[in-house]
Amino acid sequence: MLIFATALFALLCGALFYAARFPLAEPQAAAPAAATSSTTVAPRKIETVTHPEFTLPDIAGNPRSFSEWQGKNRLINFWATWCAPCRREIPLLKAFRDAQSTNGFEVIGIAVDFPEAVAEYAEAAQFNYPVLVGEQDAMAVAESSGIEFIGMPFTMFVASDGEYLGAFIGELHQEHLDTVVDVMTRLDRGEIDKEKARNEFSAL
């Protein structure tokens, strides 16, 4: 029964993801250029917003609040056990956390998945960063910042003061994380302002 429910949940999320990334378009006079397999879809630009407070359970079922990590630059990574690109990101995010946790960065994983599936996967993954579980509540966390659509993997970037700076839809690679460190470090040092930081994140 759990396997059937998990498969159904994955199918529904996949359908929503496909609809979000490939909406129906009005006919155009000229055919657009073919998209490459590496094309990613950026979230639409939103107004400046402080990321709302939220509370979700962790893998052990303990409630965790977003304010626990106030004062740190945060990468909020939305993922699921059935999402292959999400799983590929995890070793990279673990290495990032090892390298940058003492520099004021924190990774927060939010699983849009069933708690049982996440707990089982976590035994092998050996996460070194907090992982919260939310199913539909997890989707609401992203939408609360004004994102009009998301797919997975999906990563949000939040400054140390809690202000939303940007997001990336698609699989993260090392060059993306290098840019995150560079932009947020310069922001913390006062070398750039938040508008400049948002512009640089939008170019990821």
Domains parsed from the chain with CATH numbers? 2-20+48-202 (3.40.30.10)
Token digits of residue 164: 């939303």
Query: Along the 204 residues of the chain, how does pLDDT read in single tens digits?
Result: 444 444 444 444 444 443 333 333 333 333 323 333 344 444 444 444 665 678 899 999 999 988 899 899 999 999 999 999 999 999 999 999 999 999 999 999 999 999 999 999 999 999 999 999 987 777 777 777 666 556 789 899 999 988 889 889 899 999 999 999 999 999 999 999 999 999 999 888
> Which pLDDT score is estimated for 130?
95
* φ, ψ dihedrals at 41, nearest 5°: -105, 120
Burial letters for 52-64: b for 16+ Cβ neighbours within 10 Å, e otherwise? Answer: eebebebbeeeeb
> Which pLDDT score is estimated for 140?
76
Other Cβ atoms within 10 Å of 193 Cβ, number: 11
Q: Which residues make Cβ contacts (< 8 Å) with residue 20, sequence separation at least 6? A: 149, 150, 151
| Type of residue found at 37 | S
Strands 131-133 and 105-111: parallel
Q: 85 preceded by cis ω (within 30°)? A: no
CA distance 6 to 83: 12
From its phi and psi, is residue 36 left (phi > 0), alpha (psi between -120 and 50) or beta? beta
| Type of residue found at 62 | N
> Which pLDDT score is estimated for 134?
83
